[in-house]
């Protein structure tokens, strides 16, 4: 025996005080031939008598001890083989039985005799009926499926103010800060672009020089009568060239003046500035063309919700929206504001975007616009960008599906899909 086994075996014998010890391994039994009406199944007999293709699978061992004899003769071996044959069959059947699915639950229920005693049997039956009724209710009772989404409260009339040209924010008009009221086309800020100023100065200088040369050339053509025909032709060509240069420079001047006008940042609509810390964010900072400088919103006009619905719920929303439109009614939404969580408000779905967008931890979401009635809100609760929690009514479904549709969706996508 290996030293490790021999040492442990000696320790065991010392503890048990046995004079003889035998260990018989138990193997998984071979299949038993099946007796059919016409005789023994020959295929089963062949399988049982055939040599094993691999090493038999061990399932246990029998330990036999003797305390009055130290010999291991044939009689003892025969008795052990008989016990091992019966024991291997019993142990294999037991292992197969305990390996059945849900065996632990069935075994626990089987041991719970307290549930089936005469005193507790009515309670057990009542509990079973209640469980059955609950299952039937989950399957048969309809309930409104309301899918939750997070979003923000926004004015419908809002515009971002962009930089029309790159430059440095040289000046912000007095009072231009968060919450300031502005009018359409009102000057908000002034940018500085040195390149535009230098180019405009250069064009104006070249244009003035060309105009002086044109005046001098035309004067020579009109006042100098001693010029030959060739000189007159040359001066006439020179005058025409200067005229074209002046026209080209004038077009350049108009373009540069338009760029210089773009340095004046103006409000696109009437409203209030809703961007926070405008002066700290912009003053003396370089900006690029197309960069958003601030946002102006009309808080006196209509308002809407911008909900970000997870795309795995969009199928229910689209079907409910299509059914509502076909029936000539609105798809209703109930929501609460973070600024007024104790009051529930209602709105209707106005638009569902076609394309999903990735939004940080929320994953893929689809924008849903909801029209609301701002007159039902207190004025101080209407804040652009306020957080909203909304639920879209998506029609009647079984109560169990309404409660556990997220779990069902997880099982379908993460379990069943991987098994098919």
Per the CB < 8 A criterion, the answer to whether 196 and 173 are in contact is: no
Residue 311: pLDDT band (50, 70, 90) is confident
Task: Identify the band that residue 294 occupies on the pLDDT scale cut at 50, 70 and 90.
Answer: very high
303 pairs with which residues across the strands? 155
The answer, yes or no, to whether residue 38 has pLDDT greater than 60, is: no
Computed over every residue of the chain, the mean pLDDT equals 85
Residues 135-153, mean pLDDT to the nearest whole number: 91
Q: Is the pLDDT of residue 252 over 90?
A: yes
Q: Is residue 40 predicted with pLDDT exceeding 60? A: no
Binned at pLDDT 50, 70 and 90, residue 111 comes out as: low
Q: Which residue has the higher pLDDT, 270 or 75?
A: 270
**pLDDT average, residue stretch 237-259:** 92
**Token pair of 321 as six digits:** 């929206």
> In Å, what is the CA distance from 182 to each residue of 9, 50, 153, 270, 418?
96, 97, 21, 6, 58
pLDDT given at position 369: 95
pLDDT score at 115: 60
pLDDT for 384: 87
More confident residue, 18 or 370: 370
The pLDDT assigned to 45 comes to 55
Positive or negative, the CA dihedral 315, 319, 321, 322 is positive
Per-residue pLDDT tens digits for 185-224: 999 999 999 999 999 999 999 999 999 998 888 888 777 7
| Mean pLDDT, rounded, for 244-255 | 93
Integer Cα distance of 265 and 275 in angstroms: 15
Of the candidates 204, 408, 392, 158, the residue with the CA atom closest to the CA atom of residue 296: 158
User: SS in 3 state form for the chain?
Assistant: CCHHHHHHHHHHHHHHCCCEEEEEEEECCCCCCCEECCEECHHHHHHHHCCCCCCCCEEEEEEEEECCCCCCCHHHHHHHHHHHHHHHHHHHHHHHHHCCCCHHHHHHHHHCHHHCCCCCHHHHHHHHHHHHHHHHHHHHCEEEEEEEEEEEEEECCEEEEECCCCEEEEEECCCCCCCCEECCCCEEEEEECHHHHHHHHHHHHHHHHHHHHHHHHHHHHHHCCCCCHHHHHHHHHHHHHHHHHHHHHHHHHHHHHHHHHHCEEECCCCEEECCCCHHHHHCCCEECCCCEEEEEECCCCCEEEEEEEEHHHHHHHHHHHHHHHHCCCCCEEEEEECCEEEEEEEEEEEEEEEEEEECHHHCEEEEEEEEECHHHCCHHHCCCCEEEEEEEEEEEEEHHHHHHHHHHHHHHHHHHHHHC
β-partners of residue 264 are: 190
* Lowest-confidence region among 109-113, 152-156, 195-199: 109-113
What does the radius of gyration of the chain's CA atoms come to, in whole angstroms? 46
Which of 5-9, 107-111, 311-315 bottoms out in mean pLDDT, i.e. has the lowest?
107-111
Q: Which residue has the higher pLDDT, 420 or 144?
A: 144
Instruction: Check whether 56 has a pLDDT greater than 80.
Output: no
The 10s digit of each residue's pLDDT in 81-102 is 888 888 888 888 888 888 777 6
360-389 burial code (b ≥16 CB/10 A, e <16): eeeeebbbbbbbbebeebeeebbbbebebe
Give residue-wise pLDDT tens across range 256-281: 999 999 999 999 999 999 998 999 99
User: Which carries the bigger pLDDT value, residue 219 or residue 133?
Assistant: 133
Q: Where are the domains of the chain?
A: 3-98, 146-156+301-419, 158-296
| Rounded average pLDDT over 296-317 | 91
Is 239's pLDDT higher than 90? Answer: no
**Region of poorest pLDDT, from 44-58, 59-73, 273-287:** 44-58
CA proximity to 330, closest of 349, 312, 314:
349
In this predicted structure, the answer to whether residue 51 has a pLDDT above a threshold of 70 is no
The residue ranking higher by pLDDT, 389 or 377, is 389
Residue 366 is predicted with a pLDDT of: 92
- The reported pLDDT for the residue numbered 166 is 93
Cβ-Cβ contacts under 8 Å for 29 (sequence gap 6 or more): 85, 88, 89, 92
The predicted pLDDT at position 292 comes to 94
Dihedral (CA of 194, 200, 204, 205) sign: positive
Answer with the residue of higher pLDDT: 243 or 75: 243
**pTM of the complete model beyond 0.75:** no
Give pLDDT, residue 234. 85
Q: CA-to-CA distance for 153 and 381, rounded, in angstroms? A: 10
Lowest mean pLDDT among 3-12, 108-117, 177-186, 216-225: 108-117
CATH assignment, 146-156+301-419 = 2.40.30.170
Query: For a pLDDT cut of 90, what percent of the chain falls above it?
Result: 43
Nearest to 185 by CA among 151, 159, 224, 220: 159
**Mean pLDDT of all residues in 16-33:** 79
Question: Biggest alpha carbon distance in the chain?
Answer: 157
Strands 340-358, 303-310: pairing is unpaired
Reported as a pLDDT band with limits 50, 70 and 90, residue 286 is: very high
The pLDDT > 70 percentage for the chain reads: 89
């Amino acid at each position: 025996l290996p030293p490790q086994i021999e040492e442990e075996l000696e320790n065991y014998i010392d503890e048990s005080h046995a004079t003889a010890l035998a260990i018989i391994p138990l193997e998984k039994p071979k299949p038993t031939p099946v007796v059919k009406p016409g005789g023994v199944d020959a295929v089963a007999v062949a399988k049982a008598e055939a040599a094993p293709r691999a090493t038999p699978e061990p399932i246990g061992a029998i330990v036999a001890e003797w305390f009055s004899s130290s010999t291991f003769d044939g009689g003892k071996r025969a008795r052990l083989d008989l016990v091992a044959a019966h024991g291997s069959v019993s142990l294999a059947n037991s292992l197969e039985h305990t390996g059945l699915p849900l065996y632990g639950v069935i075994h626990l229920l089987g041991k719970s005799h307290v549930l089936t005693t005469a005193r507790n049997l009515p309670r057990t039956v009542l509990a079973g009926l209640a469980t059955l009724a609950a299952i039937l209710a989950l399957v048969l009772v309809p309930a409104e499926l309301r899918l939750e989404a997070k979003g923000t409260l926004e004015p419908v009339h809002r515009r971002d103010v962009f930089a029309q040209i790159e430059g440095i924010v040289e000046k912000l008009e007095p009072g231009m800060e968060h919450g300031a009221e502005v009018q359409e086309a009102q000057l908000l800020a002034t940018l500085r672009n040195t390149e535009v100023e230098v180019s405009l100065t250069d064009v104006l200088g070249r244009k003035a020089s060309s105009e002086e040369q044109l005046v001098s050339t035309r004067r020579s053509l009109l006042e100098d009568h001693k010029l030959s025909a060739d000189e007159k032709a040359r001066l006439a060509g020179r005058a025409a060239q200067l005229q074209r240069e002046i026209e080209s420079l004038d077009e350049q001047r108009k373009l540069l003046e338009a760029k210089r006008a773009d340095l004046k940042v103006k409000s696109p609509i009437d409203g209030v500035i809703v961007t926070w810390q405008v002066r700290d964010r912009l003053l003396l900072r370089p900006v690029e063309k197309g960069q958003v400088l601030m946002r102006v919103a009309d808080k006196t006009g209509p308002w809407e919700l911008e909900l970000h619905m997870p795309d795995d719920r969009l199928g229910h929303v689209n079907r409910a929206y299509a059914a509502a439109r076909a029936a000539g009614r609105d798809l209703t939404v109930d929501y609460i504001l973070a600024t007024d969580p104790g009051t529930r408000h209602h709105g209707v779905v106005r638009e569902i975007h076609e394309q999903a967008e990735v939004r940080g931890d929320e994953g893929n979401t689809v924008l849903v616009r909801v029209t609301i009635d701002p007159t039902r809100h207190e004025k101080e609760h209407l804040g652009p960008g306020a957080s909203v929690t909304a639920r879209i009514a998506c029609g009647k479904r079984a109560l169990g599906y309404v409660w556990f549709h997220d779990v069902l969706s997880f099982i379908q996508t993460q379990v069943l899909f991987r098994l098919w």
